[in-house]
């Protein structure tokens, strides 16, 4: 399966990507994680990407296209992947389509998770990250914890700069103006699957699987 998870920041793409990755035994490729790792390593590209992300803006196409090209060419992606966080513009979508043609990939789908802006702001401002391992939790998950559930670091929780309301609102404005046209691009390609992202995690996963069955009835992996 070749899947693209799409939607506004905080709509639940990462959560669904992990579920689908385990179900289909294909890698979850998060461009956000790749960029943050590059920033952590202090590379020029990573530092520039960090500055852009902290301002709630989109990372330039020339950086993203190169990252995606390198990643999808890896051995782990030869039987499928879940792309999370890309494409974010129609120009990126067109570049990705060209890359898919080179890789002989035709059975792909863009899964669009829908949610309203106020709910997204509520979700993201409640997120906390661990300074030690980078794991992300909702504030309700760690309400009474002083240790990270993943790495056990003590008093390591903090709010990322890109999870403040001001930056989130900026990111949503960018999404509406620059990113949402991507949805129409894939709709015209007959590759769009729309899902209500406000439902429970289990309901969203179930709707995705049922939708994929209808799009790809020949895929035995879905049954």
Catalytic position from the list 18, 23, 160, 180: 160
**107 and 44 assigned to the same domain:** yes
**51 and 153 assigned to the same domain:** no
**44 and 96 assigned to the same domain:** yes
Is residue 171 among the annotated active site residues?
yes
**What is d(CA 32, CA 142) in angstroms, rounded to the nearest whole number?**
23
What does the block give as tokens for 53? 């992300």
Binned at pLDDT 50, 70 and 90, residue 208 comes out as: very high
Q: How much helix, strand and coil, in percent to the nearest 5, is found in the chain?
A: 50, 15, 35
- In this model, does residue 223 exceed pLDDT 70? no
Q: What angle do CA 188, 33, 74 make, to 5 degrees?
A: 70
Structurally, the chain folds into a number of domains equal to 2
**What is d(CA 47, CA 42) in angstroms, rounded to the nearest whole number?**
6
- In this model, does residue 186 exceed pLDDT 90? yes
Q: Could you tell me the pTM of the whole model?
A: 0.76
**14 and 97 assigned to the same domain:** yes
Is residue 127 among the annotated active site residues?
yes
Catalytic position from the list 13, 36, 50, 128: 13
**105 and 81 assigned to the same domain:** yes
**What is d(CA 20, CA 130) in angstroms, rounded to the nearest whole number?**
24
- Read off the CATH number of the domain in which 91 is found: 3.40.50.300
Is residue 13 among the annotated active site residues?
yes
Helix, strand counts (H, E) of the chain: 9, 8
Q: In 3D, which of 118, 137, 134 has the Cα closest to residue 126? A: 137
Beta strands (DSSP E) in 35-126 are 81-84, 108-114
| Residues spanned by the domain of 192 | 2-115+166-222
**201 and 218 assigned to the same domain:** yes
**Which pLDDT does position 221 carry in this prediction?**
61
- Tens of pLDDT, residues 9-22: 888 888 899 899 99
Is residue 69 among the annotated active site residues?
no
What does the block give as tokens for 198? 């406000």
**77 and 109 assigned to the same domain:** yes
**134 and 209 assigned to the same domain:** no
Q: In 3D, which of 220, 211, 223 has the Cα closest to residue 5? A: 211
Catalytic position from the list 36, 50, 123, 127: 127
**85 and 102 assigned to the same domain:** yes
**143 and 190 assigned to the same domain:** no
Mean pLDDT for all residues in the chain: 87
Percent of the chain at pLDDT > 90 equals 44
What does the block give as tokens for 155? 């008093």
**69 and 102 assigned to the same domain:** yes
**22 and 128 assigned to the same domain:** no
Beta strands (DSSP E) in the chain are 2-6, 28-30, 81-84, 108-114, 127-130, 136-138, 157-158, 192-196
- Tens of pLDDT, residues 139-184: 988 988 999 999 999 999 999 988 999 999 998 998 888 778 899 9
Is residue 160 among the annotated active site residues?
yes
Catalytic position from the list 50, 123, 128, 171: 171
DSSP 8-state class, residue 179: I
Can you say whether residue 112 is alpha, beta or left, with left for phi > 0 and alpha for psi between -120 and 50 degrees?
Answer: beta
Q: What angle do CA 182, 184, 188 make, to 5 degrees?
A: 120
Catalytic position from the list 36, 50, 88, 183: 88
């Amino acid at each position: 399966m070749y899947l693209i998870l799409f939607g506004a920041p905080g709509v639940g793409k990462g959560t669904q990507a992990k579920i689908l990755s385990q179900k289909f035994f294909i890698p979850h490729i998060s461009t956000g994680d790749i960029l943050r790792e590059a920033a952590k390593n202090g590379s020029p590209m990573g530092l520039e990407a960090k500055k852009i992300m902290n301002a709630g803006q989109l990372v330039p196409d020339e950086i993203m296209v190169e990252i995606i090209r390198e990643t999808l060419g890896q051995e782990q992606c030869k039987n499928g992947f879940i792309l999370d966080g890309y494409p974010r513009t129609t120009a990126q979508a067109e570049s990705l389509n060209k890359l898919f043609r080179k890789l002989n990939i035709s059975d792909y789908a863009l899964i669009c998770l829908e949610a309203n802006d106020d709910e997204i702001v509520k979700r993201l401002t409640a997120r906390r990250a661990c300074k030690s391992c980078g794991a992300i939790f909702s504030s309700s998950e760690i309400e009474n914890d002083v240790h990270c559930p993943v790495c056990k670091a003590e008093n390591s929780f903090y709010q990322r700069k890109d999870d403040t309301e001001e930056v989130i609102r900026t990111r949503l404005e960018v999404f509406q103006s620059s990113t949402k046209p991507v949805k129409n691009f894939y709709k015209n390609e007959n590759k769009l699957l729309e899902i209500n992202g406000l439902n429970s995690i289990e309901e969203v996963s179930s709707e995705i699987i049922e939708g994929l069955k209808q799009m790809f009835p020949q895929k035995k992996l879905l049954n």
